[in-house]
Amino acid sequence: MKPQDTSRTVSKSLHQRILSDIEGRILSGEWPPGHRVPFEYELTAAYGCSRMTVNKALTQLAKAGLIERRRKAGSVVTRPRSQSAVLQIHDIRTEVQELGLPYRFELTRRRKRKCNADDRERLGLRDAASVLELACRHFAGSDPFCLEERIINLSAVPEAEHEAFKDDAPGAWLVKRVPWSTAEHTIRAMGADEEIAKALAVAKGTACLVIERRTWSGEEPITLARLTYEGGSYALTARFTPNRN
Amino acid sequence: MKPQDTSRTVSKSLHQRILSDIEGRILSGEWPPGHRVPFEYELTAAYGCSRMTVNKALTQLAKAGLIERRRKAGSVVTRPRSQSAVLQIHDIRTEVQELGLPYRFELTRRRKRKCNADDRERLGLRDAASVLELACRHFAGSDPFCLEERIINLSAVPEAEHEAFKDDAPGAWLVKRVPWSTAEHTIRAMGADEEIAKALAVAKGTACLVIERRTWSGEEPITLARLTYEGGSYALTARFTPNRN
DNA sequence: CAGTGGTCTAGACCACGTA
DNA sequence: ACGTGGTCTAGACCACTGT
């Protein structure tokens, strides 16, 4: 591996440049999950530095969860993690199954369109990028559990355009394919309007928990999802240990 | 500084032991905010190791935000951070003032009592520890903004017993004094019952956002807070960049 | 100016896990 | 058994910053 162009990233320390280089290759998809990262001695040769320096970079990447390291076998790029690792939102299928209920979902809307001003503002899209607009209902047993409305940035995830979302719901499908680096959640309570009341089979005005999640890979926006849960049947848990290792 | 007793923490690497030792002194309050951490060369002598090893520990503590490092001046223990650094819940006073509204709060309940079974289960208290039970209304202008119900573990924070909470609301007071290491939030939507409707001056059944926050310092439970906001006027934002530095 | 942290080196030994 | 990562050393030079 040759060091990437680092003309923009001057004045950083060497181990940080090595870290950024590798992180860039992983987030860009050049090194997909399962790809073997060069051994320490290979990086040592590539960057012309000592082993301690590349070790520092690789150790940090491992702590960040981007790679897994094993003696003798070397380091490999990790599969994209579910968001649950950070904010304990499980994949909805898992959530439902942990309640001991059978899970199914149905896709209720699926169309490709140019992004509008609202999308651009909320997801930070540029110009007239294409997005895939989806809606989906998740069921726990025979009851609607969650209403999902989502747009996917097709310039970031072009393969979504021809995906039928038969086996995996859009969220689960994305998590499997796209490594994300930043997620922002906005959470609020809202009385169900007519449309939501109908979709979730609750009375109009019922308190609902609304979670909007925006996800980026590096600087590139990936998806914007709005999940609406009936308030009484759902709570969100987030546990933090600030930055500790 | 002498290395702490590490009989329980065998088989950890040396830099991890150094890190744990210092972290323990900070979280226990033995080294309060502003306290100067020993220089690297002092730790080198105390632990009989090389400078790289203590540097690794101190660098991690700085990344975790427990200490701040400055050349020539050494490292000092950081003031306890507001939770906003992690989950962007600001101190309520700040939240209100950012809306451009005058802030005030009133304490509506304050009593010391033995903890009951419910407290023990929810906060992980042991035996018959004493707790301080508080309730508090926060106002934005003349409108109630948030209802806060809280218990504080008096064995962890004994000085709370004689605190009047005149200038600082209980949450702000705690953040200033107690360094926390872990926080867990549970978030749900709930229709306002009679009591909440009255306290927040909204109609019964209005969708409200309820945040329960449990906080620990190391293993010791500190406080359990329940914050209830009127749904339409409030949203919570959390942004994550998983462990990246 | 002097003292501290930031970074890096060129070695070393060991533990672990795979082959 | 052997190759890799995990850890540590005893130096070094430099940048920053407070005095």
Last residue of a domain, one of A15, A46, A77: A77
CA angle (A200 as vertex; A209, B233 as ends), nearest 5: 30
Last residue of a domain, one of A45, A77, A109: A77
Burial grade of A153 (CB within 10 A; 0-12, 13-18, 19 or more): buried
Distance separating alpha carbons of residues A108 and A55, to the nearest angstrom:
49
Judgement on whether residues A21 and A137 belong to the same structural domain of the protein: no
Q: Which helix (H) or strand (E) holds B230?
A: strand B220-230
Name which of A79, A58, A68 is nearest A1 in CA terms.
A58
Contact A187 B191 (CB under 8 A): no
Judgement on whether residues A50 and A98 belong to the same structural domain of the protein: no
Residue A142 neighbours by CB distance under 10 Å: 9
Phi-psi bin for B165: left (phi > 0), alpha (psi -120 to 50), beta?
Answer: left
Structure tokens at B81: 């951070």
Q: Which residues of B touch A183 (CB under 8 A)?
A: 239-240
Residue A28 within a domain: yes
Structure tokens at A141: 């047993």
Judgement on whether residues B167 and B59 belong to the same structural domain of the protein: no
Residue B52 within a domain: yes
Q: Which residues of B touch A17 (CB under 8 A)?
A: none
Judgement on whether residues B54 and B111 belong to the same structural domain of the protein: no
Judgement on whether residues B73 and B89 belong to the same structural domain of the protein: no
Tens-place pLDDT, residues A141-153: 899 999 999 999 9
> Chain A residue with minimal CA distance to B214?
A239
Structure tokens at B130: 């004493």
**What CATH number should be reported for the domain holding residue A18?**
1.10.10.10
Tens-place pLDDT, residues A154-210: 999 999 999 999 999 999 898 778 777 777 878 889 999 999 999 999 999 999 999
Q: Which residues of A touch B236 (CB under 8 A)?
A: 185-188
Average pLDDT score over chain B: 84
Domain holding B126, by residue range, is 83-233
Judgement on whether residues B202 and B185 belong to the same structural domain of the protein: yes
Are A230 and A146 a contacting pair, CB within 8 Å?
no
Q: Which amino acid is at A156?
A: A
Contact A65 B185 (CB under 8 A): no
Judgement on whether residues A39 and A107 belong to the same structural domain of the protein: no
pLDDT tens, chain A, 245 aa long: 545 544 444 568 999 999 999 988 988 888 988 999 999 999 999 999 999 999 999 999 998 888 999 999 999 998 765 444 445 555 788 778 777 789 999 999 999 999 888 888 888 887 778 999 999 999 998 999 999 999 999 999 999 999 999 999 999 898 778 777 777 878 889 999 999 999 999 999 999 999 888 888 877 899 999 999 988 777 777 666 544 43
- Which residue spans within B115-194 are E strands per DSSP? 130-140, 143-153, 182-191
Total structural domains within chain A: 2
Q: Which nucleotide is nearest to A58 (CA to C1')?
A: D5
Residue B243 within a domain: no
Judgement on whether residues A37 and A91 belong to the same structural domain of the protein: no
Tens-place pLDDT, residues B23-81: 989 888 889 889 999 999 999 999 999 999 999 999 999 988 889 999 999 999 987 65
- Cβ of residue A53 lies below 7 Å from strand C: yes
Separation of CA B58 and C1' C5 in angstroms?
Answer: 10
* Residue A184 pLDDT: 81
- Cβ of residue A16 lies below 7 Å from strand C: yes
pTM (2 d.p.): 0.74
For B237, the closest of A85, A184, A244 (CB atoms) is A184
Last residue of a domain, one of B56, B77, B98: B77
Residue B239 within a domain: no
Contact A239 B208 (CB under 8 A): no
Judgement on whether residues A11 and A91 belong to the same structural domain of the protein: no
Residue B40 within a domain: yes
Are B126 and B120 a contacting pair, CB within 8 Å?
yes
Residue B222 within a domain: yes
**What CATH number should be reported for the domain holding residue B93?**
3.40.1410.10
